[in-house]
C-alpha cells in the first residue's frame, strides 16, 4: 500500500503537518496489525518548484508535455500516479485552500479533462483557526472528484492558531477515523464501488467528449481508453449496483442536456 500526503502549508511544525503526522502514525499501526506493507510519504508543496499556471491552454490542447513551465510538477505527478491513496491537507486561508494548493491544482487543470487518477482513493483535510473549513473542503473535493479520485471522506479540524502538544490529543480520535477509513478503502478497493456523484460526473464528461472533434487531444485520450463507448459506465471496472448506475446515467444525461 502506497500513500502520499501533500501538505499545503509552509509551517512544517504547524497544525496541518501535525494532523498528517497523527494520521500517518495510526496508518503505520494499522499496517502492522494487518501485516500490510505500507509506504507513507509526506511532501510539502512549499519545498517544490511549482510555477503559477500561465493560462496558455497548451496542456489542454496539445497535452501536458507541451507545458512551457519546466519545474517539479512532472515529478510530483509521477508520484501521484504511483500511489494507491492521496491525503490532501491544506490550512484555511481566506476561507479557501492555501496558495500552494491552488497553484498545484491549477497546474493539474488538464486532469479535469483527462481523469488520470481513476481507481485511486483520496481524503481531503483542512485545518482552520476557528471558522468553518467547509468551503476549503469543497474546493478540494471538486478537484479530486473531477480528476477521477474516489473520495473516501473529508475532515476539518478547528485548532486555533497553533495547537499545543497537549491540545493535539483531542484531535487523535478524528485523525484515527481518517486513517482507518483510508486504510480500509485502499485495502478493500472501495474505488471499485464509485459513488453516485462519480458515476454522474463520468456520464457528463462522456457526453461532452463524444461531441469533440476526433482529432482533439481530449477525444483521443478518452477514445483510446474505451471511455467513449456508450456501454461504458465508468473509468474503471466497478461493482456499483445496476440501479445506481442506471440512475447516474439518466441524471448525467439530463444535467448535460439542460445545465452544461
Rounded Cα distance, 128 and 92, in Å: 5
Tell whether the model's pLDDT for residue 164 goes beyond 90: no
Q: Mean pLDDT lowest for which of 8-12, 119-123, 165-169?
A: 165-169
Which domains does the chain carry?
2-190 (3.40.50.360), 196-258 (no CATH)
Q: What's the pLDDT score for residue 46?
A: 97
Rounded Cα distance, 141 and 202, in Å: 15
Strand 150-151 and strand 155-158: pairing?
A: unpaired
pLDDT digits (tens, 9 = 90+) for 116-135: 999 899 999 999 998 899 99
Rounded Cα distance, 110 and 103, in Å: 13
127 Cα distance to chain centroid = 17
Rounded Cα distance, 57 and 42, in Å: 30
pLDDT digits (tens, 9 = 90+) for 169-190: 899 999 999 999 999 999 988 7
Q: What's the pLDDT score for residue 91?
A: 97
Q: pTM here?
A: 0.92
Which whole number is the average pLDDT over 210-234?
A: 95
Amino acid at each position: 500500500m502506497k500513500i502520499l500526503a501533500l501538505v499545503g502549508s509552509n509551517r512544517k511544525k504547524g497544525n496541518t503537518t501535525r494532523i498528517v503526522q497523527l494520521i500517518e502514525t495510526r496508518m503505520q499501526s494499522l499496517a502492522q496489525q494487518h501485516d500490510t506493507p505500507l509506504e507513507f510519504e509526506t511532501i510539502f508543496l512549499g519545498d517544490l518548484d511549482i510555477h503559477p499556471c500561465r493560462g496558455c491552454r497548451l496542456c489542454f490542447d496539445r497535452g501536458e508535455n507541451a507545458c512551457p513551465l519546466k519545474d517539479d510538477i512532472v515529478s510530483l505527478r509521477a508520484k501521484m500516479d504511483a500511489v494507491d491513496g492521496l491525503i490532501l491537507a491544506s490550512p484555511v486561508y481566506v476561507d479557501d485552500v492555501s496558495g500552494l494548493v491552488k497553484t498545484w491544482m491549477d497546474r493539474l487543470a488538464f486532469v479535469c479533462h483527462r481523469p488520470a487518477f481513476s481507481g485511486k482513493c483520496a481524503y481531503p483535510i483542512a485545518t482552520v483557526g476557528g471558522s468553518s473549513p467547509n468551503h476549503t473542503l469543497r474546493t478540494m473535493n471538486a478537484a479530486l472528484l473531477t480528476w477521477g479520485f474516489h473520495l473516501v471522506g473529508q475532515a476539518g479540524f478547528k485548532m486555533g492558531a497553533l495547537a499545543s502538544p497537549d491540545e493535539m490529543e483531542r484531535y487523535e480520535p478524528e485523525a484515527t477515523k481518517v486513517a482507518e477509513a483510508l486504510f480500509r478503502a485502499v485495502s478493500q478497493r472501495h474505488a471499485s464501488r464509485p459513488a453516485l456523484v462519480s458515476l454522474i460526473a463520468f456520464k457528463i464528461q462522456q457526453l461532452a467528449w463524444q461531441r469533440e472533434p476526433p482529432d482533439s487531444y481530449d477525444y483521443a485520450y478518452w477514445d483510446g481508453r474505451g471511455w467513449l463507448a456508450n456501454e461504458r459506465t465508468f473509468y474503471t471496472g466497478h461493482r456499483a449496483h445496476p440501479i445506481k448506475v442506471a440512475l447516474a446515467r439518466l441524471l448525467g444525461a439530463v444535467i448535460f442536456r439542460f445545465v452544461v
